[in-house]
Structure 1
Amino acid sequence: MIIVKLKNKLLLTGAAAMGALFLGLNANAARMDMVDVSNNNGYMSTAEYVSMRNEFGVKALTVKISEGTTFKDGYAASNIANGQAAGLYVNGYHFAHYKTNAQAIAEADFAGKTAKAAGLPVGAVLATDVESQEANNQSKATNDRNNAAFMQEIQKFGYRADIYTSGSWANNKMTIKGKTGWIAGYPFVPAGKKWYTNNNAWQWSGSAHFRISYGGFDVSQLYTDYYTAGQKSTVKPTNKGAVKANNQKANKNTSKPSTSAKWVKEAKTYTLKTAVKLRTGASTSSNAITILPAGTTVKTDQAIIQGGYRWVRQPRFNGYGYLATGPASNTLEYVKSGAAHTYYTVKSGDSWWAIAQRNGLNMTTLASQNGKTIYTTIYPGQRLVVR
């Protein structure tokens, strides 16, 4: 999560000083102040959360509650109870699919009722996670109206509201005002310059590892006390040395950022699984030539990662067209036409992470090659491409 940017670095007074002391400012490394979990992480015990708190400095937990108007995360209640037992501040989030004001209100009602039933405490944050294809197809003004409707409605259940989205969408696909928002952006090396310091939180990694927990986790640095307010907690890491060492380790990354994006040769044929805008340039601000419907076969000759997306170039009779195949953090290959695939049938209790591990894949790659995200619900009997 993110921390409030101080206008006067030499003077801390009142709440700002208290927030700075609580968060333990560290200029050299992004912190693991908050972790978010969902059914993709499976059952999480109190012992796991205690380890996160004592050895990694985790203070807050944000639990997936629901998605759309039908999906209830089956692990929400245990995650909330076990997180509270470990002394963490506990919040929730809802994965949004709304396209209209009425749908936003309906999803907020569903999320609020589901959160109450799962035991999310009154006063906690219940954020709307806005990164769906539905939101991508809406105008900024429409997304703003829908988000406002959701957040207003969710407060009727006694929860505080916020928006989670990616850095490339913030103030592009929707408005994120200063001192609000939980923004995701994964730098090559987190240590050093801080990102999104004018917001509540910065999610800086989606693959953090904890000593006694299996798999990768989303972790965030907090810049305000928004996700730790209104609750009692016993958050006091008992092993400060371990917290410092583990945070430094988490910030290490041998990857070196490219000084400038370069086009690379990629002669491939894709079959689009969703409708995609074909643009005049490799930018979301470029004009749309047309909208290619799902099922369209696209032959490309080059690819590039820039502006938060992975773009491919399509040769056309009068030049080129450009389309985004997804966020830059993903491998993002759609199902190739004419290719033989290996399928896996989802079983009860499966998650993106579990299926990916069994098939030697990154779970983000697995989701993207099926035209989905890791937050998309999967159901028993569903077939997924694994090869």
Structure 2
Amino acid sequence: MKTTKHTALTLAGSAFLLASLCLPATGQAARMDMVDVSNNNGYMSTAEYTSMRNEYGVKAVTVKISEGQTYRDPDAASNIANVQAAGMYINGYHFARYTTKAQAIAEADFAGRTAKAAGLPVGAVLATDVESQEANNQSKATNDRNNAAFMKEIQKFGYRTDIYTSGSWANSKMTVKSKTGWIASYPYVVTGKNWYSTNHAWQWSSTAKFRISYGGFDVSQLNSNYYTAGQKSTVKPTNKGAVKANNKKANKHTYKKSASSKWVKEKKTYTLKTAVKLHTSTSTSSNVITILPAGATVKTDQAIIKSGYRWVRQPRSYGYGYLVTGPTSNTLKYVKSGATHTYYTVKSGDSWWTIAQRNGLSMTTLASQNEKSIYTTIYPGQRLEVR
């Protein structure tokens, strides 16, 4: 999960849904059955979720609820409401930081209360997202004990539970039994193998694109109906041709292996286009030192391509900080060289035309420098670069 990352048994009587959840034969394309989102994706409207449903076949959305014992995702409530308004199945996940059984129970209580307050319906899945450095430092037995305590406590709130983790951690860092689990593993070539078919879900990409939504998204194929059980939904794509075409396009994406995964010198100063997490290591699941705001400048000394991302290293008073600049293509998606930039917060009634006119730009230029098109819908609260 973005992380970054990054997290129901009766299907509302739809024969279409039952058929679409059948496992694909070897060689067929992976499906975009489920998307997980958090505040890292920004505000997500009902229109965006409806587009995911109608044009891409997305059935379920899993929303970040909380992290540790204090962090509440600020967009959880709006995401839950807008997903439901789009007629899709809704679930939640909690980013785990626990290292003891007592902490696991405390985090579960916090996650359960937060989920209730945000409007997550009873019967939804509230998964534990176990990919932190804290979990990496624990033994398999300790992680198993802590995960079991978390999930037992979550059930007291009326939610069903599951474990989200990486394929390399499943059954090595923690036990993930058959007919349970949501596993993240990104192959270089998606088509050709049905991964983790005995688990509930397989997250096969963290960079999926949707037509009217900005940025890359985590997408998963559902190998059971666990994440769509026990909820009412009107999920039924209205453009099956688009679903087929868009899924085919998504599967064409491959993660290119870098010729070298060694650190290289890169002494540069960047200005952030968006807020970016500064990590303790080159892993999206590592601890976050701080969140650098849009407009902040970052001086780097080295860069590396690792695990599908391009990372840069920032020397600090004590050690180093690491941040993702983009995918392995080396395109600096989140940072931009040069002077500090000016941002505008979209207000109700604004349009591409009014914002462009106000700042002496053409609509095309304004949209382009924000990596959007003039046909992309903008919403109050969004930040756009205008200088």
If the length of structure 1 is used for normalisation, what is the TM-score?
A: 0.66
Question: Structure 2 matches for 1:277-288, cutoff 5 A?
Answer: none
Helix, strand or coil: the match of 1:104? helix
Cα-to-partner distance string for 1:115-146 (whole Å, 9 max, x where unaligned)? 00000000000000001111010000000000
- In structure 1, stretches of 5+ residues that fail to align are 2-14, 277-293, 295-302, 311-327, 345-355, 362-387
Question: Structure 2 matches for 1:83-94, cutoff 5 A?
Answer: 83-94=83-94
2:24–2:194 CA contact under 8 A, matched in 1: no
**CA–CA distance in 2 between the matches of 1:24 and 1:71?**
37
Is 1:359 matched up with 2:349? Answer: no
Is 1:59 matched up with 2:59? Answer: yes
Question: Structure 2 matches for 1:188-203, cutoff 5 A?
Answer: 188-203=188-203
Q: Offset at 1:330?
A: 3.7
**CA–CA distance in 1 between the matches of 2:31 and 2:84?**
21
RMSD: 3.4
Amino acid paired to 1:104: A
Q: Offset at 1:275?
A: 9.3
Amino acid paired to 2:308: S
Relative to 1, partners in 2 of residues 1:101 and 1:239: Cα closer, same or farther, differing over 3 Å?
A: same
- Quote the residue 1:7 is aligned against: none
- Quote the residue 1:371 is aligned against: none
Helix, strand or coil: the match of 1:214? strand
Amino acid paired to 1:110: F
Amino acid paired to 2:191: A
- Quote the residue 2:139 is aligned against: 139
1:19–1:224 CA contact under 8 A, matched in 2: no
**CA–CA distance in 2 between the matches of 1:119 and 1:133?**
30
**CA–CA distance in 2 between the matches of 1:275 and 1:40?**
19
Q: Offset at 1:267?
A: 7.3
1:37–1:62 CA contact under 8 A, matched in 2: yes
Relative to 1, partners in 2 of residues 1:265 and 1:107: Cα closer, same or farther, differing over 3 Å?
A: closer
Cα-to-partner distance string for 1:270-325 (whole Å, 9 max, x where unaligned)? xxx8599xxxxxxxxxxxxxxxxx9xxxxxxxx9x9xxxx6xxxxxxxxxxxxxxx
- Quote the residue 2:160 is aligned against: 160
1:19–1:225 CA contact under 8 A, matched in 2: no
Helix, strand or coil: the match of 2:168? coil
- In structure 2, stretches of 5+ residues that fail to align are 2-12, 267-278, 283-288, 290-303, 324-331, 338-387
Amino acid paired to 1:359: V
Helix, strand or coil: the match of 2:173? coil
- Quote the residue 1:248 is aligned against: 248
Q: Offset at 1:191?
A: 1.2
Q: Offset at 1:192?
A: 1.3
Relative to 1, partners in 2 of residues 1:274 and 1:187: Cα closer, same or farther, differing over 3 Å?
A: same
If the length of structure 2 is used for normalisation, what is the TM-score?
A: 0.66
2:313–2:321 CA contact under 8 A, matched in 1: no
Amino acid paired to 1:114: T
Relative to 1, partners in 2 of residues 1:335 and 1:239: Cα closer, same or farther, differing over 3 Å?
A: same
Cα-to-partner distance string for 1:346-372 (whole Å, 9 max, x where unaligned)? xxxxxxxxxx855249xxxxxxxxxxx
- Quote the residue 2:124 is aligned against: 124
**CA–CA distance in 1 between the matches of 2:334 and 2:204?**
26
Q: Offset at 1:160?
A: 0.2
* Identity percentage of aligned residues: 72
1:59–1:235 CA contact under 8 A, matched in 2: yes
Helix, strand or coil: the match of 2:93? strand
**CA–CA distance in 2 between the matches of 1:175 and 1:239?**
40
The alignment of Structure 1 onto Structure 2 pairs a total of residues equal to 283
Q: Offset at 1:195?
A: 1.1
**CA–CA distance in 2 between the matches of 1:56 and 1:119?**
26
Relative to 1, partners in 2 of residues 1:152 and 1:24: Cα closer, same or farther, differing over 3 Å?
A: same
Amino acid paired to 2:228: T
Cα-to-partner distance string for 1:197-240 (whole Å, 9 max, x where unaligned)? 11000000101110111111100000000000000110000000
- Quote the residue 2:293 is aligned against: none
Cα-to-partner distance string for 1:158-214 (whole Å, 9 max, x where unaligned)? 000000011111111100000100000011121111211110000001011101111
Question: Structure 2 matches for 1:198-277, cutoff 5 A?
Answer: 198-253=198-253, 255=255, 266=263
Q: Offset at 1:329?
A: 3.3
1:208–1:217 CA contact under 8 A, matched in 2: yes
Q: Offset at 1:23?
A: 1.6
The runs of at least 4 aligned residues of structure 1 exceeding 2 Å deviation read: 17-20, 24-27, 253-258, 262-269, 273-276, 328-338, 341-344
**CA–CA distance in 2 between the matches of 1:152 and 1:112?**
11
Amino acid paired to 2:155: Q
Helix, strand or coil: the match of 1:209? strand
**CA–CA distance in 1 between the matches of 2:60 and 2:90?**
6
Relative to 1, partners in 2 of residues 1:117 and 1:132: Cα closer, same or farther, differing over 3 Å?
A: same
**CA–CA distance in 2 between the matches of 1:337 and 1:214?**
31
**CA–CA distance in 2 between the matches of 1:249 and 1:235?**
22
Q: Offset at 1:20?
A: 5.0
2:39–2:73 CA contact under 8 A, matched in 1: yes
- Quote the residue 1:318 is aligned against: none
Match of 2:19 among 15, 21, 31: 21
Q: Offset at 1:71?
A: 0.6
- Quote the residue 1:177 is aligned against: 177
